[in-house]
A and B are shown apart, each in its own frame.
Chain A
Amino acid sequence: TAGITQAPTSQILAAGRSMTLRCTQDMRHNAMYWYRQDLGLGLRLIHYSNTAGTTGKGEVPDGYSVSRANTDDFPLTLASAVPSQTSVYFCASSDSMGGPGELFFGEGSRLTVL
């Protein structure tokens, strides 16, 4: 069972370059999320999607964009990377945004912007 697959696992990127982090789930979950995790801080929500065709902004959306063309895929794009975007990025999904539905996380993508 794959669950959630993220790619790449790690990447070093020059400042100013663009980058797309890929996320695919095979659980047919409606809701998907992108978080960043930085040392000493809690997971911070970048963007989310309640269902295919809809997206919403989280706590720290600036500099990032997402799309949800279908149920399975939820890519995160950095249009012009800056060093403050160096972080570990986690994609997650859940059956719905309410109720006891737990989040299932991908293994993370470690991004370094130089």
Chain B
Amino acid sequence: GQNIDQPTEMTATEGAIVQINCTYQTSGFNGLFWYQQHAGEAPTFLSYNVLDGLEEKGRFSSFLSRSKGYSYLLLKELQMKDSASYLCAVRDSNYQLIWGAGTKLIIKP
């Protein structure tokens, strides 16, 4: 079966750095996405990786290793507004997105 694993919850301090990991086992691979979802709101797109390596976008970076079935989302200079759930999703060989359950990130002052 297809599976996306991410930690259920993480806590970090305002101003610090946090890394949210995602491991996947899917039928084929056609890209990995990270989305942010604030409580009670819709998910919004953060990043897309299809080749190995690091993609940087402001305070957020996303890394991919296809051989290891592994990605992480790195958030720097954490702000209180970063408190949200972070969803990892992999597009499989049928171009369907397989979603992880999400990581709830709690930012403390």
Contacts and interface: CB of A to CB of B under 8 A. Distances in A.
Interface in B67-109: 87, 89, 91, 95-102
Interface stretch (A69-77, A79-87, A105-113): A105-113
Nearest to A100: B48
Interface in B34-57: 35, 41-45, 48, 50
A90 B42 contact: yes
Nearest to B50: A100
Interface string A79-104: 00000000000100000011110111
A51 to B, nearest CB: 13
* Interface residue range, chain B: 20 to 34
Contacts of A105: 42-44
B100 A42 contact: yes
Interface of A: 40-45, 48, 58-59, 90, 97-100, 102-108
Interface of B: 4, 30-31, 33, 35, 41-45, 48, 50, 87, 89, 91, 95-102
